[in-house]
Structure formats: structure tokens, C-alpha cells
Structure 1
Amino acid sequence: MSAYFHFERRYEGQSSGNRITYAVQRLIMLNVAVFAVQLLLEIPLGGYSAGTPGGIVTDLLAFSPTMLMKGCIWQPFTYMFLHSNLMHLFLNMVGLYFFGPDVERILSTRQFFRFYIICGVAGALAEFALWLIRTGSVSPTVVGASGATTAVLVAFAVAYPDREVFLIPFPFPVNARALVIIFIVMNLMSAMQNSSQAWMTHFGGLAAGYAYMKLVPVLRTRLQSWQGKTKKSKDEFGSLGDAVDNIFKFEDEKRRRR
């Protein structure tokens, strides 16, 4: 993520428990471990940095539209654990560290893992769709957790739109809703400048994160109504909806506390 944030102001001065949660901790550890493997395997073999085309790990696991067309169907799942350099890794993990725990507490650990992967894949597919539209364009090599961590930021903003965060170098706080708007504007500017940044991956993750948090509960309710059921569905779709429904239960509880 390209936004620089270092800490948040707790809502009404209250702590939400331990800062780090299980899924967030494991995802950070996995990303760091994979980056270490990139450094060990790619730089000694002649690369100037990890995550650049030509590296043994990057060529195998980074997302490339042309390689997906050739059958590398695992790449939309694996690219999000690679990073191009230490700063790239740091910014994504900072975003995950500060915004992920609150989202995980809402969704549950299992559903947070699923949410993270689904939104990361959505980011890759958005980049793939853009490549298909731009017929004849050079196939990009995409690495990084930005699609997934952008989705985490959006999920946080959906659940806590008025929670304040500090952005460096600005000396004043902004709320989570404004942070998402700033992020969108920055990516639109990147797109207009034909930047090498995978801005479409960010938008794909953003859209998937918002849809997951907003639409799944609605679709689940309509499915239950169509089926004529009064109890919660036990199928996979119902499980997703049950997890995301906790958002609304949380908001009801917050209003009662006020």
C-alpha cells in the first residue's frame, strides 16, 4: 500500500484487546519468510533485487497474465506473498498490522484468511482483465500483497468509518473513510500517469473487499428468503454471510454502549 500510516487513535480511547491477532500474525510471518527466500534464491543468482522478472521465485510465483493463459493457475494465489523490495514488504505489512486485527475480530480468524485470499485473487484478476482490454500490451509481472491489504483497509473503513488514523507526514488525523478516498485518488493519479505501479490490482482488491463486507450479508438474506428458511443456512455461502453479519451485530452493540 502506498499510504504511509504508523498508528491509529483508539476510538473513544478504548483498546480493542491485543494488538496482533492470529491470522494477521501468521500472514505477516509468511510474507516475511517468503521474502527471505526470495533474497536467498534470487540475489545470489545475479538479480539486483527480489521480485524482479528473471528470478527463480518470481518467475514461478509472481502473477503474469501471459503465464496464466499458459496454465499457471496458481499465480493469482501466490503473487500476493512476494514483494519487490524491503520497503514494499514493510508498507504492506504495516497496513495489515494496524488494520487487520480489528477486521479479523469481526470476521473470525478462519473467515479473515478466506477474505484475505479472495480479495488478493480479485486484485490479480482485475489486472488480468485490464491486460485483456489492452490488446497487445506488455504482460506485467505483479507481486505484492497490496490487493489484499487494500481490501483489509476498506473492510476496516466499512466497520469503523469514523475511526481516526494518522498519516505521515501529515500532523493531523483523518478518519478511515477519508483514508480510503485518499487512497483511491492516489491510485487514479497513478493510472493517469501510466505508472508501473499495479494500480488495477489495488482497485480489484478494493472492490472485492467492499463487496465482501457489504453484499454478502444481503445476498445471504435473500437466499434464505428464497429458500423459505428461518434458520441460518449451513452451506458455504451461509458461512460467509454469518461471518460478515458480525459487522452489523458489532455496530448494534456499539450503539447500545453509547
Structure 2
Amino acid sequence: MMLTPVVRTILFLNIIVFILESYNPGLIYQFGLRSFLSPDFNPVQLITHMFMHAGFMHIFSNMIGLIIFAPMLERVWGPRRFTFFYFFTGIGAALLFSGINYFESAGMYDAARTYPLNPSPDAFMDFITRYASGLYDQVSGFMEQYEAQPNNPALIDGSIKIVNTYFSRQVYEPMVGASGAIFGIIMAFGMLFPNTQLFLLFPPIPIKAKYLVIFYGAYELYSGIYRSQASNVAHFAHIGGMLFAFILIKYWGSQRKTFY
């Protein structure tokens, strides 16, 4: 498929930034999207995180989505409208993800600060249950030892380390990737070309675009709500991209006279 001008530019920018990251991994911590609770948060990260990726498979999967679905949208909308759509969905996805992250992390912030002042098996279990249930299976053996030896200094220090490590990962680890905008593109493709037949690689079956979008949306919603909190996949960013794409396309549809 022939790449359109804006799609080609976005692709090249992502590849160039990925190459720069390989020589300077610290770029992710400077330009990746930080939590609103992080002292390193900068509003410009709402844009820059869209051009950074955590590894080869991360950028590969996103750019494949861009190459397959985006050119048709740019041909329909034109370069200017497509560019607006790309950044609108990408930034909207980042804002939704950041808002949910802030809501989830605000209580955790206080709990993580107070736990080292009065550590105990009950307090540790309360932290895991409330804020890190996805870690339960990983730390269940540790919790049994801690409950059996609540005054063991090594176990107390270990519990504090687990709490601090998990909190730091939730608040200070940056979120990167073009996934929010890519899922917005997939949503748009499904809405504009719902009956287009797509052929999946895994599993190798044909499927209409509208059903692919429904499947993706349902899966990401389920994963976002019931996800393992140990996961580093920003499911709510994916949902945000699809949600903002839906809103924008519906708005453009209501302004039919100026749609094209």
C-alpha cells in the first residue's frame, strides 16, 4: 500500500526517535509521559511520548497498524484533518490514561509513604489488596513468611521494598508509544469502512473491520478494568484513543457540510 505524506512523516519520525533511543535510553525518562504525581511531569510529554517506544516489537506493532489503516483515512480526510485526528486521539488517550492513573495512585501515594512508619503483615496485606492486587500471586509466599515472622527485620525491609518498588513503578515509570493514536485510527477505519474484509495473521481468518474494532474495544475495556496491575500495558490509553476517535468522527459527521 502506498504511504500518504503525513503517514510517511509519522512513520519516519517514530523510526528516527527509536534509533536515537537506542543510543540514549535516558530519552524515554525525559520525554515519556510521566504521572501527574511525578515531579518530572511536563505537559510537552503529552505529545513527545507518542513518538517513543519501549522496544522493537512495541514500535513494530504500532507502525504496522499505522501503515495498514492510516493511509486510507488520510486519503479520505486530507493531510490536515488526518494530522489533527492523529494528535487529537493520541493526546486524548494520554489524558484519559493519566487521569485514571492519578485517581488510582493518589491513595497509593499516602499509603506508600505511611507504610514504612508502621510496617506489619496486616498493613502490608492491606496495601496489596487495595492497590496491587495483581501482585498477590507473586508475593503470596512472601506474605506467608511475613505473617509467620512479623518481627523479622529482613522480612520487614523486604515488605517496604516491595511497597516502594511498586509505587515507584506506578508513578515514576513513563508511559510511551503511539498506541493511543493507532487505536484511534483502527476505530476510525472500522467506523468509515465497517464492511471492509481484513485478513488476520493470528488466527489466519477473514474478519470485517467493524467486528475487529468491537473485539479490540471489548478486549481493552476488559483488560483495563480487570488487568493485572503488574502489567505494563496502558490499556486505558488504547481505550482513550478509540473513545476520542469515536467522539471526533461523530462530531465531524454532525458537521456534514464541512466534513470533506
Same fold (TM over 0.5): yes
Q: CA deviation at 1:96?
A: 0.4
Q: Return the structure number with greater helix share.
A: 2
Matches within 5 A, 1:102-141: 102-134=72-104, 135-137=106-108, 138-139=170-171, 140-141=173-174
Residue 113 of structure 1: how far off its partner (Å): 1.1
Distance between the aligned counterparts of 2:205 and 2:217, measured in 1? 20
* Higher RCO (CA < 8 A, seq sep 6+): 2
| Alpha-carbon contact 1:190-1:197 (below 8 Å) kept | no
Q: How far apart in 2 are the matches of 1:67 and 1:81?
A: 22
Task: Give, in whole Å, the separation in 2 of the partners of 1:81 and 1:67.
Answer: 22
Identity %: 29
* CA separation of 1:154 and 1:69: change in aligned 2, threshold 3 A: farther
Cα deviation for residue 72 of structure 1 reads 0.7
The ranges of structure 1 where at least 4 consecutive aligned residues each deviate by more than 4 angstroms after the TM superposition are 67-71
Structure 2 residue aligned with 1:65, among 35, 38, 47?
35
Partner residue in 2 for 1:90: 60
Q: Distance in 2 between matches of 1:60 and 1:178?
A: 38
1:59-106 deviation digits (Å, cap 9, x = unpaired): 111001236776611000110100000000000000000100010011
For residues 183-203 of structure 1, what are the alpha-carbon distances to aligned partners after superposition, in whole Å with 9 as ceiling and x for unaligned? 123213422132321001001
- Measure how far apart 1:144 and its partner are: 0.4
5+ residue gaps, structure 2: 109-169
Structure 2: distance between partners of 1:172 and 1:186: 18
RMSD: 1.8
**SS at 1:165 equivalent:** strand
Look up the equivalent residue of 2:207 and give its one-letter code: V
Equivalences for 1:111-190 in 2 at 5 Å? Answer: 111-134=81-104, 135-137=106-108, 138-139=170-171, 140-190=173-223
- Structure 1 residue ranges without an equivalent (≥5): 1-17, 43-55, 222-231, 233-241, 247-258
The CA deviation at 1:111 is 1.4
Higher-Rg member (1/2): 2
Alignment of 1:1-258 (within 5 A): 19-42=2-25, 56-66=26-36, 72-134=42-104, 135-137=106-108, 138-139=170-171, 140-191=173-224, 192-194=226-228, 195-218=231-254, 220=255, 242=258, 245-246=259-260
Aligned residues: 194
Q: Is the Cα contact below 8 Å between 1:154 and 1:209 reproduced in 2?
A: yes
CA–CA separation in structure 2 for the residues paired with 1:25 and 1:95: 13
Q: TM-score, normalised by structure 1?
A: 0.70
Structure 2 SS opposite 1:83: coil
The aligned amino acid for 1:210 is F
Cα distance between partner residues in 2 of 1:217 and 1:71: 35
Please tell me the residue identity of whatever aligns with 2:19.
A
- Deviations 1:198-235, CA, capped at 9 Å, x for gaps: 001001111111111112342x47xxxxxxxxxx7xxx
The alpha-carbon distance between structure 1 residues 105 and 118, as it changes in their structure 2 partners (threshold 3 A), is: same
The Cα of 1:107 is off from its aligned counterpart by: 1.1
